[in-house]
Structure 1
Amino acid sequence: MRNIAKGVAVLALVSSSAAFAEGGYWGAVGGIMDIDLPNADSPLNLGLRGGYILPSGWGFELEYTNSLISGQADVFANDVDVDVQTMAGYATYRSYGDVYFKGRLGVLYEDVSVGASSSDDTGVSLGAGIGFNYGPNTNIELEYTVIEEDIAFWSGTMTLHF
């Protein structure tokens, strides 16, 4: 009987937390661009994110990030700055609940600068994370996004819904 009561309580909690913030949102994103380079420190990126969530949980978002604090790389015994700038558009999906899972897939433009050298590329980007409904109009999301095969973005985002 006790297990049934626990099951009913969990079901009631999940059902009550099915309220979902749909509509437009914008927010700030910040995190570490984890670069897979030997003898390199990762830059700290900050940016803006905006999007729209449909009642089904599907949506889209646009994101721009740029290095606030440059990483460092050892190139021919010299320390040089490492910076990453990104602009992306994603299709997203969020599960329902006060704690939810998020997935995103999209197209990303990146510009990576190492010292005086710079390289840019456009490609597919994929990410996943977990989110928390902090309030009726505020969400916090923690994500891992693959920028390219040797760059990943570990980020946190705070969004405000309107």
Structure 2
Amino acid sequence: MKTTTKTFGALTIILSSSVFAEGGYWGATAGVMDFDFQGVDNPMGLGLRAGYSQLSGWGLEAEYIGSLVSGEIEVIGKEVDVDMHSLAGYATYRSFGDIYFKGRLGLLYEDITVGRNSGDDFGVSVGAGVGFILWGDSNIELEYTILEKDVEYWSGAFSYRF
């Protein structure tokens, strides 16, 4: 009887964590776009995300990030703005529990503007982070994402599950 009670208790805990891990979610992210160039005052980014995760921990996520506060760099003795906008689709994996780990890998479209010059590109993006369940349907995540080979995004995110 004691073994049955322990087994039932363990299954209840595992399944209650798994239920939170399934379903759609939306949220917002904010952080620093860390350009890997000398002399750049990095822009601050703000983004929106939406996704769906399954009981297994695997899921899909879409995210848009744009410069909320422009960065700056000196070009020929003149300060010019540095901005970045990106749109990405990711395959994600979340571990189980109230404190969990998250990984993501996906494709990204980016547009970087320096002064009056602009360039865009497609590439691969990869990220990892840790998340904390706040209450029933809400969580926060602290993440590190390589947006492209010269730009990293250090961010915090808030998500709500529905």
Q: TM-score, normalised by structure 1?
A: 0.89
Unaligned runs of 5+ in 1: 1-11
Give the structure 2 partner of residue 75 of structure 1: 75
Give the structure 2 partner of residue 39 of structure 1: 39
Give the structure 2 partner of residue 158 of structure 1: 158
Give the structure 1 partner of residue 127 of structure 2: 127
The structure 1 segments of at least 4 consecutive aligned residues displaced by more than 6 Å after TM superposition are: none
Aligned letter for 1:96? F
Aligned-pair CA distance for 1:158: 0.2
Aligned-pair CA distance for 1:36: 1.0
Give the structure 2 partner of residue 6 of structure 1: none
Count matched residues: 150
Distance between the aligned counterparts of 2:39 and 2:127, measured in 1?
26
Aligned-pair CA distance for 1:16: 3.7
Give the structure 1 partner of residue 17 of structure 2: 19
RMSD: 1.5
Q: Describe how 1:100-119 pairs up with structure 2 within 5 A.
A: 100-119=100-119
Distance between the aligned counterparts of 1:77 and 1:101, measured in 2?
45
Give the structure 2 partner of residue 58 of structure 1: 58
Aligned-pair CA distance for 1:148: 1.1
Aligned letter for 1:39? G
Aligned-pair CA distance for 1:110: 0.4
Aligned letter for 2:147? I
Distance between the aligned counterparts of 1:133 and 1:53, measured in 2?
15
User: 1:103-145: CA deviations, max 9, x gaps?
Assistant: 0000000000010011100011000000001111001001000
Distance between the aligned counterparts of 1:132 and 1:159, measured in 2?
10
Aligned letter for 1:82? V
Distance between the aligned counterparts of 1:155 and 1:122, measured in 2?
21
The DSSP-based 3-state class of the residue aligned with 1:19 is: helix
Distance between the aligned counterparts of 1:133 and 1:16, measured in 2?
15
Aligned letter for 1:60? L
Aligned letter for 1:92? T
Distance between the aligned counterparts of 1:98 and 1:16, measured in 2?
11
Give the structure 1 partner of residue 5 of structure 2: none
Distance between the aligned counterparts of 2:54 and 2:17, measured in 1?
13
Distance between the aligned counterparts of 1:151 and 1:47, measured in 2?
16
